[in-house]
Amino acid sequence: MKARCISKKEVARILNISESTVSRWAKSGNIPKPFQLGPNKTNWDIEEIYEWLEKKKEARGFLGTKPNRG
């Protein structure tokens, strides 16, 4: 399988968030982690980003679960 590498800017554009949010989410494990291609080149695999998005879409609702109505 051929990976298509995308930059932080492209990830931010796909997710409609800022580049600093991309960094923060990646560090916290909220989105797939990037990988280094070189000393100054960090990329994400576009397929991993789209797979992550699909999983998020499958968990729709109130934070993925229905609220508890006691």
pLDDT of 16: 96
Name the residue ranges covered by the structural domains of the chain: 1-39
E strands within 15-64? 35-38, 41-45
Q: Identify which of 6, 17, 16 has the alpha carbon closest to the alpha carbon of residue 42.
A: 6
Return the SS3 of 28. helix
pLDDT of 58: 85
- Return d(Cα 15, Cα 53) in angstroms, integer: 9
The string of pLDDT tens digits covering residues 11-65 is: 999 999 999 999 999 999 999 999 998 899 999 999 999 999 999 888 876 655 6
